[in-house]
Structure 1
Amino acid sequence: MKLDLLIKNVDIITMDDRNMVIHDGFLGISDGRISYLSQKPPENAAFKKELDGKGMLAMPGLVNTHTHSAMTLMRNYADDIALESWLFDNIFPVEAKLTDKDVYWGTMLGIAEMLRSGVTAFADMYMFMDEVARAVTETGIKANLCKSPVQFFEDGELKRLDKSQGTVDYYNQYHNSAQGRIKVFVEIHSTYMFNERTLANAASLAKQLNTGVHIHLLETTAEVESSKRDYGMTSVEICKKTGVLDVPVLAAHCVHLTDSDLEILKEKGVSVAHNPASNLKLGSGIARIPEMLERGINVCLGTDGAASNNNLNMFEEMNLAALVHKGTAMDPQLMKAATVLKMGTANGAKAIGFEDTGVLAEGMKADIILIDTDKPHFYPKNNPLSTVVYSAQASDVDTVIVDGNILMQNRQFTGIDEEKIKYEVQALSGRLLSR
């Protein structure tokens, strides 16, 4: 057996249907995929590189299914404000100043932060998306990127101009690029920024491209009211009417759903990106996640942007997702560790179009993180799944592997100049954030 990399003596959480845990196991990687997984060492194996995983826990890389990575540039800028004022009075004015260079460096900072915290794939919705694709290509991470077919403003006025050709061009250039590490969806910012005509056009475009849609959906009570006013129905219902839900949909937030909305999401196979930290911080509310899971809806996790969180820490999202719903329902058996961990890995991979990752099994892509558990807050070592959800911190991630390539080892990046990224971001922030 020829291996590119062998990881030995490591505890392994597979995240397959059995949630199997292998103690002191062996992981072999060849051509970017897992080619060996067992408690026994491979016989007659030749390998190019070996990692000793003693004291480590191996698991699938985390998947951040909703963020705006370049919004790291607005971290800690507009806090403790209701969403509508936060967005329209604070964030939009800063975004009006953004250049392609700004978005590139903001995205590089976001990717560095995500890799450091064990994220191997993310879904991004923002502007200057060519620069986001450039950053993904350079850093080795995986991403689902989306492009809006609508330009909202011209000369400061809301116009909703048709830019469908730009979305087609973006899809043709980047979908399955970077050795397959980039997927492209159609962006629908929200039902309140689009209208019935542009929703239908975006749905038609996604069908034409045979791809999916990434949308903000029912994040706030204000959206509930605007949807009633503009459409005479809920945001979910207008999405169904216009055909948006006839393609794969990644719907972020989904806080204020009716019972009928829940049934529609289940019927249409919509994936829901739960963003507990952002929803709590902006006072948007708490999504009905246990009910979604009960109905069989594919629920995953996202951080949202660092302007509303204020970090891209998926360990924090898993912990909050487990605790918040237990507390509000006064039911400690809700949102068990295994469920939440699946939301952060396999469910997320499915939602953003990477079906061959999110699980550690032979034949799957080698998107793996190693967590250093030789620290006081991991002892005594009992349930590994509980360990990840309730005890682990982002800073415990030691090694990150994507498609078999080591992107971080011993908490040192192998191909990212972190100091340069921090320098560039700090230098440009003065111009962007001056009021």
Structure 2
Amino acid sequence: MLDILIKNTELITNDESKPLIKDGYIGIKDGCIDFISDSLPENVKAREVIDGKNKIAMPGLVNAHSHSAMTLMRNYADDIALEKWLFDNIFPVEAKLTDKDVYWGTMLGISEMLKSGITAFADMYMFMDEVARAVTETGIKANLCKSPVQFFEDGQLKRLDKSQGTIDYYNSYHNSANGRIKVFVEIHSVYMFNENTLRNAAQLAKQLNTGIHIHLLETLSEVESSKKDYDMTSIEICRETGVLDVPVMAAHCVHLTDGDLRIMKEKRASVVHNPTSNLKLGSGIARVPEMMDMGINVCLGTDGAASNNNLNMFEEMNLAAILHKGVAMNPQLMKAQDVLKMGTVNGARAIGFDDTGILSKGMKADIILVDTDKPHFYPKNNPMSMIVYSAQAADVDTVIVDGNVLVKKREFIHIDEERIKFEVDTLSKRLLGRQP
């Protein structure tokens, strides 16, 4: 007896042996894919049957870099350079955040991500116990990281090394929620840390046998500050201090030198491309095609909703696909199939989930169904092109994580969306000085 049978659906599998199935079936049992087939096996029974007619079934999207609670600052402090945006606008609001704020902001972010087909995300922020609570309650997967350096205390910007808190967080949450949570060490950036705290964080990650999530070379200002502070690039100081000796998710990586690229390849670091955020903040355009040609694992992220201003991975895939073609004046760059992998299996590997991102027997059943019975999909020529160039977040019909249906016919099964919107709207009035 299967838990779920998905029938009559078109499949994008990410499986090299059979990447597309025109009219297929997916059997789900005990949270995993029991079979993928272009014909229905005999005597199959299931507790729930989902008709996939006029839909594409594909691996869930992976948002490999976000700050989910920053939904609280959506559409606030726009059209400002990153340093002024961060230090003069965002940090003062973040200094006022409470654990309640972060919980509800994260719940809003998760609800937005799930409805747009994201089944796993990576998050770095504050009050990370509340982020773990939200992940546990909603059923999504997440890589959560905890910083050994605390930046705020009593509303003031400070830098306090509290490594034991990171150890306790790892011990409490790594592989919790039935394995849906992974924990990495957070290094916000080389300009917010120093050489000593970089070394300590790297050693901590080694001690815990885990990875690191870090912002790297997002702006030209960071290029200059790294040269001034360390007399080397941010990538070089990370190599020097041991940061790159563990699995690393490096967000942005806009301003890498040729030498930096070689180091990233040698150290097998994953790069998280955030095209919308980088363009909106005027940070620049990462050398993604070169990274991919070198074999660097490149995935995609939305960044926070304060600099995007949404958590829509379909937009990120579309922009990643067309941006680099235009810059290089080469329409053959960034093919749809490769970009789709950036948004799914590449991200899954980067955030520590090796058993998802591909639809094949034995893999976790993290699956979304995209409704293609809409004018902007017709005529239905190429499924991968349809997803990367035509699909919208609102086209996601069904979301399944670990074999559990979380969204069905665009409605949440267990999440109270109206309560979340009410709580967030109330909290943002205090945080941003809006009048009730």
Aligning the two structures, in what range does the TM-score lie when normalised by the shorter sequence? over 0.9
Q: What CA distance in whole angstroms lies between the structure 1 residues aligned with 2:114 and 2:152?
A: 34
> For residue 6 of structure 1, what is the aligned residue in structure 2?
5
**1:378-405 CA-partner distances (Å, limit 9, x unpaired):** 0000110000000000000000000000
Alpha-carbon deviation of 1:44?
Answer: 1.1
Q: 2: CA distance between counterparts of 1:154 and 1:197?
A: 20
CA deviation map 1:118-143 (0-9, x unaligned): 00000000000000000000000000
1:146 aligns with 2:141: no
**Cα separation, partners in 2 of 1:223 and 1:19, compared to 1, 3 Å:** farther
Closer/same/farther in 2, CA of residues 72 and 159 from structure 1, 3 Å limit: closer
Contact 1:36 1:42 in 2 (8 A): no
Residue by residue over 1:57-99, the C-alpha shift from the partner in whole angstroms, topping out at 9 and shown as x without a partner, is 0000000000000000000011000000000000001001100
User: 1:363 corresponds to which residue?
Assistant: 362
Q: Distance in 2 between matches of 1:18 and 1:324?
A: 30
Gaps of 5+ in 1: none
Gaps of 5+ in 2: none
Q: Is the 8 A contact 1:369 1:401 kept in 2?
A: yes
Partner of 1:234 in structure 2? 233
3-state secondary structure, aligned to 1:17 = coil
Cα shift at 1:165: 0.2
Q: Which residue of 2 aligns with 1:32?
A: 31
Q: Measure the CA separation in 2 of the matches of 1:19 and 1:190.
A: 40
CA distance in structure 2 between the partners assigned to 1:225 and 1:143 by the alignment: 33
Q: How far apart, CA to CA, are the structure 2 residues paired with 1:19 and 1:31?
A: 24
Hey, which bits of structure 1, 4+ residues long, moved more than 2 A? 152-160
Partner SS for 2:85:
helix
Query: Does the 8 Å CA contact 1:253/1:272 hold for their aligned counterparts?
Result: yes
Aligned pair 1:75/2:74, yes or no?
yes
1:145 to 1:101, Cα distance in 2 relative to 1, 3 A: same
Aligned pair in 2 of structure 1 residues 84, 196: CA closer, same or farther (>3 Å)?
same
Paired amino acid for 2:74:
R
| Separation (CA, whole Å) in 1 of partners of 2:376 and 2:155 | 52
TM-score by length of 2: 0.98
C-alpha distance in 2, partners of 1:291/1:180? Answer: 34
Contact preservation (8 Å) 2:96, 2:155: no
CA distance in 2, matches of 1:31, 1:37: 15
Name the SS for the 1:63 alignment partner: strand
Q: Equivalent residue for 1:197?
A: 196
TM-score with structure 1 length normalisation?
A: 0.99
How many angstroms apart in 2 are the aligned matches of 1:273 and 1:177? Answer: 24
Deviation at 1:42, TM superposition (A): 1.6
| SS of equivalent residue, structure 1 residue 380 | coil
Match of 1:84 in 2: 83
Offset of 1:17 from its aligned partner?
Answer: 2.2
Q: Report SS of the residue matched to 1:334.
A: coil
Counterpart CA distance in 2 for 1:242 and 1:368 is 39
Change (3 A) 1:42 1:302: same
Work out the CA distance in 1 between the residues paired with 2:151 and 2:276.
28
Equivalence for 2:114: 115
Q: What corresponds to 2:253 in structure 1?
A: 254
Q: CA contact under 8 A between 2:406 and 2:414: conserved in structure 1?
A: yes
The one-letter code matched in structure 2 to 1:337 is A
Q: Which amino acid aligns with 1:279?
A: N
Q: CA deviation at 1:16?
A: 1.5
Aligned to 2:159: 160
Higher mean Cα deviation, 43-52 or 200-209?
Answer: 43-52
Q: Does the 8 Å contact 2:135/2:142 carry over to 1? A: yes
Aligned equivalents of 2:379, 2:223: Cα separation in 1: 47
- Structure 1: distance between partners of 2:156 and 2:365: 47
Aligned-residue identity in percent: 78
The one-letter amino acid of 2:219's match is T
Aligned to 2:272, what secondary structure does the other structure show? strand
Q: Secondary structure at the match of 1:41?
A: coil
- CA positional deviation for 1:20: 1.3
Q: Which amino acid aligns with 1:211?
A: T
User: Over the residues paired in the alignment, what is the CA RMSD in angstroms?
Assistant: 1.0
1:12-411 equivalent positions in 2, closer than 5 A: 12-18=11-17, 20-154=19-153, 159-411=158-410
Deviates more, 1:37-46 or 1:296-305: 37-46
Classify the secondary structure of the residue corresponding to 1:238: helix
Q: Deviations over 1:295-335 (max 9, x none)?
A: 00000000000000000000000000000000000000000
Distance 1:242 1:233 in 2: 12
Q: Is the 8 A contact 2:272 2:298 kept in 1?
A: yes
Q: What count of residue pairs does the alignment treat as equivalent?
A: 434
Q: Is the 8 A contact 1:19 1:338 kept in 2?
A: no
- The answer (yes or no) to whether the contact 2:104–2:420 under 8 Å persists in 1 is yes
